[in-house]
Amino acid sequence: MAGTARTVIIEEHGGPEALKLADWPVGEPGPGEVRIRHKACGLNFIDCYQRSGLYPMTLPHALGMEASGVIDAVGEGVAHLEVGDRAAYAAAPPGAYCEARVMPAAQVCRLPDAISFEEGAAMMLKGLTVQYLFHRTTPLQAGDTVLFHAAAGGVGLIACQWAKSEGIRLIGTAGSDEKCALAMEHGADACINYATEDWVAKVRELTDGKGVDVVMDSVGKATFEGSLDCLKPLGMMISFGNASGAVDAFNLGVLAQKGSLKVTRPTLFTHIADHGTCQSMAGMLFGKVSSGEVKIRIDQRFPLEDVAEAHRVLEARRTTGQTILTLE
Protein backbone atom coordinates (compact mmCIF):
# COMPACT_ATOMS: atom_id res chain seq x y z
CA MET A 1 0.00 0.00 0.00
CA ALA A 2 3.04 2.28 0.08
CA GLY A 3 2.22 5.57 -1.68
CA THR A 4 0.35 8.52 -0.27
CA ALA A 5 -2.58 9.08 2.07
CA ARG A 6 -4.86 12.06 2.68
CA THR A 7 -3.33 13.72 5.74
CA VAL A 8 -3.94 16.95 7.65
CA ILE A 9 -0.76 19.01 7.87
CA ILE A 10 0.37 22.50 8.87
CA GLU A 11 3.00 24.45 6.94
CA GLU A 12 3.01 27.23 9.50
CA HIS A 13 1.61 27.74 12.99
CA GLY A 14 -1.66 29.66 13.20
CA GLY A 15 -5.42 29.44 13.63
CA PRO A 16 -7.64 26.64 12.34
CA GLU A 17 -7.16 28.00 8.79
CA ALA A 18 -3.54 26.74 8.99
CA LEU A 19 -4.84 23.16 8.72
CA LYS A 20 -4.45 21.78 5.17
CA LEU A 21 -5.36 18.47 3.60
CA ALA A 22 -2.41 17.05 1.61
CA ASP A 23 -1.35 13.81 -0.05
CA TRP A 24 1.41 12.73 2.32
CA PRO A 25 3.90 9.93 1.71
CA VAL A 26 3.29 6.58 3.43
CA GLY A 27 6.15 4.08 3.14
CA GLU A 28 6.87 0.57 4.34
CA PRO A 29 7.32 0.01 8.08
CA GLY A 30 10.93 -0.33 9.25
CA PRO A 31 12.13 -2.29 12.30
CA GLY A 32 9.86 -1.69 15.29
CA GLU A 33 7.20 0.02 13.16
CA VAL A 34 3.74 -0.81 11.82
CA ARG A 35 1.57 0.64 9.10
CA ILE A 36 -2.01 1.26 10.13
CA ARG A 37 -5.00 2.03 7.90
CA HIS A 38 -7.21 4.28 9.99
CA LYS A 39 -10.94 3.92 10.57
CA ALA A 40 -11.29 7.10 12.70
CA CYS A 41 -9.09 9.72 14.37
CA GLY A 42 -9.47 11.42 17.75
CA LEU A 43 -9.45 15.19 18.31
CA ASN A 44 -7.55 16.50 21.34
CA PHE A 45 -6.80 19.90 22.78
CA ILE A 46 -3.08 19.22 22.42
CA ASP A 47 -3.65 19.32 18.64
CA CYS A 48 -4.65 22.99 19.04
CA TYR A 49 -1.49 23.75 21.05
CA GLN A 50 0.62 22.16 18.30
CA ARG A 51 -1.27 23.94 15.54
CA SER A 52 -1.03 27.36 17.22
CA GLY A 53 2.65 26.99 18.13
CA LEU A 54 2.15 26.96 21.94
CA TYR A 55 3.93 23.61 21.56
CA PRO A 56 6.28 24.38 18.63
CA MET A 57 7.13 21.72 16.02
CA THR A 58 9.34 21.48 12.95
CA LEU A 59 7.31 22.43 9.89
CA PRO A 60 5.72 21.25 7.71
CA HIS A 61 4.27 18.60 10.01
CA ALA A 62 1.27 16.30 10.05
CA LEU A 63 -1.09 16.70 13.03
CA GLY A 64 -3.08 14.47 15.37
CA MET A 65 -2.08 12.16 18.22
CA GLU A 66 -4.72 9.42 18.36
CA ALA A 67 -6.51 7.03 16.01
CA SER A 68 -7.81 3.51 15.46
CA GLY A 69 -7.69 1.20 12.46
CA VAL A 70 -6.38 -2.05 11.03
CA ILE A 71 -2.71 -3.07 10.88
CA ASP A 72 -1.76 -3.61 7.25
CA ALA A 73 2.02 -4.12 7.45
CA VAL A 74 4.36 -5.03 10.31
CA GLY A 75 8.10 -4.26 10.50
CA GLU A 76 10.81 -6.52 11.84
CA GLY A 77 10.88 -7.14 15.57
CA VAL A 78 7.24 -6.25 16.30
CA ALA A 79 5.83 -9.15 18.32
CA HIS A 80 2.56 -7.82 19.72
CA LEU A 81 0.74 -6.98 16.46
CA GLU A 82 -0.10 -8.84 13.24
CA VAL A 83 -1.49 -7.83 9.87
CA GLY A 84 -5.28 -7.65 10.17
CA ASP A 85 -5.33 -6.76 13.88
CA ARG A 86 -7.76 -4.10 15.05
CA ALA A 87 -5.66 -1.49 16.82
CA ALA A 88 -5.72 1.94 18.46
CA TYR A 89 -3.12 4.29 19.88
CA ALA A 90 -2.22 7.59 21.47
CA ALA A 91 1.31 8.36 20.42
CA ALA A 92 3.91 10.72 19.12
CA PRO A 93 4.99 11.82 16.62
CA PRO A 94 1.93 13.83 15.58
CA GLY A 95 0.36 12.69 12.32
CA ALA A 96 -2.79 10.76 13.23
CA TYR A 97 -5.27 12.89 11.22
CA CYS A 98 -4.89 10.75 8.11
CA GLU A 99 -6.11 7.70 6.24
CA ALA A 100 -2.96 5.65 6.86
CA ARG A 101 0.53 6.05 8.31
CA VAL A 102 3.67 4.26 9.42
CA MET A 103 4.52 4.69 13.09
CA PRO A 104 6.46 3.22 16.01
CA ALA A 105 4.64 0.10 17.21
CA ALA A 106 5.42 0.40 20.94
CA GLN A 107 2.35 2.51 21.76
CA VAL A 108 -0.02 0.79 19.32
CA CYS A 109 -2.43 -1.51 21.19
CA ARG A 110 -4.68 -4.34 20.02
CA LEU A 111 -8.24 -3.11 20.34
CA PRO A 112 -10.64 -5.55 22.07
CA ASP A 113 -13.58 -6.65 19.86
CA ALA A 114 -16.01 -5.17 22.41
CA ILE A 115 -14.71 -1.67 21.64
CA SER A 116 -15.66 -0.06 18.33
CA PHE A 117 -13.18 1.72 16.06
CA GLU A 118 -14.88 5.04 16.81
CA GLU A 119 -14.61 4.46 20.56
CA GLY A 120 -10.99 3.37 20.13
CA ALA A 121 -10.16 6.57 18.24
CA ALA A 122 -11.92 8.72 20.84
CA MET A 123 -10.59 7.16 24.03
CA MET A 124 -6.89 6.37 23.87
CA LEU A 125 -5.25 9.72 24.59
CA LYS A 126 -7.91 10.90 27.01
CA GLY A 127 -8.44 7.52 28.69
CA LEU A 128 -4.73 6.82 29.19
CA THR A 129 -4.44 10.32 30.65
CA VAL A 130 -7.13 9.55 33.19
CA GLN A 131 -5.37 6.25 33.96
CA TYR A 132 -2.10 7.97 34.80
CA LEU A 133 -3.81 10.83 36.69
CA PHE A 134 -5.62 8.40 38.99
CA HIS A 135 -3.03 5.62 39.24
CA ARG A 136 0.45 6.86 38.48
CA THR A 137 0.72 10.47 39.69
CA THR A 138 -0.13 10.56 43.39
CA PRO A 139 -1.57 7.89 45.69
CA LEU A 140 -5.37 8.09 45.60
CA GLN A 141 -7.83 5.86 47.38
CA ALA A 142 -11.56 5.41 47.84
CA GLY A 143 -12.93 8.26 49.92
CA ASP A 144 -10.40 10.84 48.69
CA THR A 145 -11.77 14.03 47.12
CA VAL A 146 -10.54 15.38 43.78
CA LEU A 147 -11.36 18.72 42.14
CA PHE A 148 -11.45 18.22 38.37
CA HIS A 149 -11.74 21.24 36.05
CA ALA A 150 -13.49 21.08 32.64
CA ALA A 151 -15.34 18.01 33.89
CA ALA A 152 -17.73 17.81 30.91
CA GLY A 153 -14.93 17.73 28.31
CA GLY A 154 -13.20 14.80 26.67
CA VAL A 155 -10.83 13.91 29.49
CA GLY A 156 -13.40 15.20 31.99
CA LEU A 157 -16.30 12.85 31.29
CA ILE A 158 -13.96 9.85 31.40
CA ALA A 159 -12.52 11.12 34.70
CA CYS A 160 -15.99 11.52 36.25
CA GLN A 161 -16.85 7.88 35.50
CA TRP A 162 -13.41 6.59 36.47
CA ALA A 163 -13.56 8.32 39.85
CA LYS A 164 -17.05 6.94 40.51
CA SER A 165 -15.89 3.41 39.66
CA GLU A 166 -13.15 3.69 42.30
CA GLY A 167 -15.10 5.34 45.10
CA ILE A 168 -13.28 8.66 44.70
CA ARG A 169 -15.37 11.77 45.26
CA LEU A 170 -14.98 14.03 42.23
CA ILE A 171 -16.06 17.66 42.41
CA GLY A 172 -16.17 19.00 38.85
CA THR A 173 -16.19 22.45 37.34
CA ALA A 174 -17.57 23.39 33.92
CA GLY A 175 -18.50 26.48 31.93
CA SER A 176 -22.31 26.15 31.89
CA ASP A 177 -25.16 24.63 33.88
CA GLU A 178 -25.81 22.16 31.04
CA LYS A 179 -22.21 20.98 31.15
CA CYS A 180 -22.40 20.65 34.93
CA ALA A 181 -25.52 18.49 34.60
CA LEU A 182 -23.69 16.27 32.11
CA ALA A 183 -20.70 15.83 34.44
CA MET A 184 -23.04 14.82 37.25
CA GLU A 185 -24.86 12.32 35.01
CA HIS A 186 -21.43 10.76 34.44
CA GLY A 187 -20.58 10.35 38.11
CA ALA A 188 -19.34 13.71 39.44
CA ASP A 189 -20.45 14.12 43.03
CA ALA A 190 -20.99 17.86 42.50
CA CYS A 191 -20.21 20.26 39.68
CA ILE A 192 -19.66 24.01 39.93
CA ASN A 193 -20.33 26.41 37.07
CA TYR A 194 -17.06 28.35 37.23
CA ALA A 195 -18.37 30.94 34.77
CA THR A 196 -20.98 32.16 37.25
CA GLU A 197 -20.02 30.94 40.72
CA ASP A 198 -17.21 31.68 43.18
CA TRP A 199 -15.86 28.18 42.66
CA VAL A 200 -13.10 28.39 45.29
CA ALA A 201 -15.63 29.32 47.99
CA LYS A 202 -17.98 26.59 46.75
CA VAL A 203 -15.25 23.93 46.94
CA ARG A 204 -14.52 25.02 50.53
CA GLU A 205 -18.24 24.76 51.33
CA LEU A 206 -18.56 21.31 49.72
CA THR A 207 -15.60 20.03 51.76
CA ASP A 208 -16.68 21.55 55.14
CA GLY A 209 -13.88 24.07 54.88
CA LYS A 210 -11.18 21.41 54.61
CA GLY A 211 -10.31 21.54 50.90
CA VAL A 212 -9.64 18.67 48.51
CA ASP A 213 -6.83 16.09 48.49
CA VAL A 214 -5.95 16.60 44.84
CA VAL A 215 -6.73 19.12 42.08
CA MET A 216 -6.50 17.98 38.46
CA ASP A 217 -6.25 21.23 36.49
CA SER A 218 -6.05 21.29 32.69
CA VAL A 219 -7.46 24.81 32.32
CA GLY A 220 -4.14 26.37 33.36
CA LYS A 221 -3.72 30.14 33.47
CA ALA A 222 -7.29 31.04 34.50
CA THR A 223 -7.61 28.52 37.35
CA PHE A 224 -4.11 27.80 38.67
CA GLU A 225 -4.11 30.16 41.64
CA GLY A 226 -7.67 29.40 42.68
CA SER A 227 -6.88 25.70 42.44
CA LEU A 228 -4.09 26.04 45.01
CA ASP A 229 -6.62 27.69 47.35
CA CYS A 230 -8.88 24.63 47.07
CA LEU A 231 -6.27 22.21 48.44
CA LYS A 232 -5.91 20.76 51.94
CA PRO A 233 -2.53 21.16 53.63
CA LEU A 234 -0.12 18.67 51.97
CA GLY A 235 -2.50 18.47 49.00
CA MET A 236 -1.35 17.76 45.45
CA MET A 237 -1.88 20.09 42.50
CA ILE A 238 -1.67 18.26 39.17
CA SER A 239 -1.42 20.90 36.45
CA PHE A 240 -1.77 18.98 33.20
CA GLY A 241 -2.98 21.42 30.56
CA ASN A 242 -3.34 24.99 29.31
CA ALA A 243 -6.80 25.34 27.73
CA SER A 244 -6.95 29.00 28.92
CA GLY A 245 -3.22 29.66 28.36
CA ALA A 246 0.05 28.60 29.97
CA VAL A 247 0.36 29.04 33.74
CA ASP A 248 2.39 32.11 34.74
CA ALA A 249 5.64 31.76 36.65
CA PHE A 250 5.04 31.79 40.41
CA ASN A 251 6.99 31.97 43.65
CA LEU A 252 7.54 28.48 45.09
CA GLY A 253 7.24 29.99 48.58
CA VAL A 254 3.47 30.19 47.96
CA LEU A 255 3.33 26.41 48.33
CA ALA A 256 4.73 26.64 51.85
CA GLN A 257 2.36 29.47 52.82
CA LYS A 258 -0.67 27.53 51.64
CA GLY A 259 0.22 24.41 53.62
CA SER A 260 3.20 22.52 52.18
CA LEU A 261 1.43 21.88 48.91
CA LYS A 262 2.87 19.74 46.11
CA VAL A 263 2.71 20.61 42.42
CA THR A 264 3.45 18.43 39.41
CA ARG A 265 3.19 19.11 35.69
CA PRO A 266 2.93 15.70 33.97
CA THR A 267 2.45 14.65 30.39
CA LEU A 268 1.02 11.37 29.13
CA PHE A 269 3.99 10.86 26.84
CA THR A 270 6.40 10.23 29.73
CA HIS A 271 4.07 7.58 31.13
CA ILE A 272 3.57 5.69 27.87
CA ALA A 273 7.20 5.92 26.67
CA ASP A 274 7.88 2.38 27.85
CA HIS A 275 6.15 -0.28 25.74
CA GLY A 276 5.22 -2.59 28.64
CA THR A 277 3.87 0.24 30.79
CA CYS A 278 1.84 1.64 27.92
CA GLN A 279 0.30 -1.75 27.13
CA SER A 280 -0.59 -2.38 30.76
CA MET A 281 -2.15 1.09 31.15
CA ALA A 282 -4.19 0.38 28.01
CA GLY A 283 -5.22 -2.99 29.46
CA MET A 284 -6.71 -1.23 32.48
CA LEU A 285 -8.48 1.34 30.29
CA PHE A 286 -9.90 -1.38 28.01
CA GLY A 287 -11.14 -3.19 31.13
CA LYS A 288 -12.99 -0.11 32.37
CA VAL A 289 -14.63 0.44 28.97
CA SER A 290 -15.42 -3.23 28.22
CA SER A 291 -17.06 -3.62 31.64
CA GLY A 292 -19.23 -0.54 31.04
CA GLU A 293 -17.78 1.32 34.06
CA VAL A 294 -16.55 3.98 31.64
CA LYS A 295 -18.66 4.82 28.59
CA ILE A 296 -17.09 6.70 25.70
CA ARG A 297 -19.46 9.45 24.75
CA ILE A 298 -18.84 10.76 21.23
CA ASP A 299 -20.81 14.01 20.98
CA GLN A 300 -19.16 15.46 17.84
CA ARG A 301 -18.18 13.81 14.55
CA PHE A 302 -16.53 15.72 11.69
CA PRO A 303 -15.36 14.36 8.34
CA LEU A 304 -11.55 14.62 8.02
CA GLU A 305 -11.89 17.48 5.53
CA ASP A 306 -13.80 19.55 8.13
CA VAL A 307 -10.95 19.42 10.63
CA ALA A 308 -10.66 23.25 10.79
CA GLU A 309 -14.28 23.51 11.94
CA ALA A 310 -13.62 20.78 14.52
CA HIS A 311 -10.75 22.86 15.95
CA ARG A 312 -12.93 26.01 16.00
CA VAL A 313 -15.70 24.28 17.91
CA LEU A 314 -13.27 22.71 20.42
CA GLU A 315 -11.49 26.00 21.10
CA ALA A 316 -14.79 27.88 21.41
CA ARG A 317 -15.77 25.53 24.29
CA ARG A 318 -18.74 24.28 22.28
CA THR A 319 -17.95 20.56 22.66
CA THR A 320 -18.80 18.05 25.35
CA GLY A 321 -17.30 14.57 25.74
CA GLN A 322 -15.33 13.17 22.81
CA THR A 323 -14.84 14.45 19.28
CA ILE A 324 -13.67 12.33 16.35
CA LEU A 325 -12.76 12.83 12.71
CA THR A 326 -14.41 10.28 10.45
CA LEU A 327 -12.99 8.71 7.30
CA GLU A 328 -15.09 7.34 4.45
Residue ranges in contact with ligand NDP by CB under 6 A: 44-46, 125-126, 129, 150, 152-156, 174-175, 179, 218-219, 222, 240-244, 266-268, 314-315, 317, 319
What's the closest the beta carbon of residue 46 comes to ligand NDP, in angstroms?
A: 5
Which of 37, 288 has the CB closer to ligand NDP? Answer: 288
Which of 100, 314 has the CB closer to ligand NDP? Answer: 314
Which of 145, 322 has the CB closer to ligand NDP? Answer: 322
What's the closest the beta carbon of residue 138 comes to ligand NDP, in angstroms?
A: 14
Which of 32, 52 has the CB closer to ligand NDP? Answer: 52
Which of 69, 153 has the CB closer to ligand NDP? Answer: 153
Output the furthest CA–CA distance in the chain (Å, rounded): 62
What's the closest the beta carbon of residue 126 comes to ligand NDP, in angstroms?
A: 5
What's the closest the beta carbon of residue 181 comes to ligand NDP, in angstroms?
A: 12
What's the closest the beta carbon of residue 217 comes to ligand NDP, in angstroms?
A: 9
What's the closest the beta carbon of residue 261 comes to ligand NDP, in angstroms?
A: 19
Which of 90, 108 has the CB closer to ligand NDP? Answer: 90
Task: Give the integer Cα–Cα distance in Å for 235 and 99.
Answer: 44
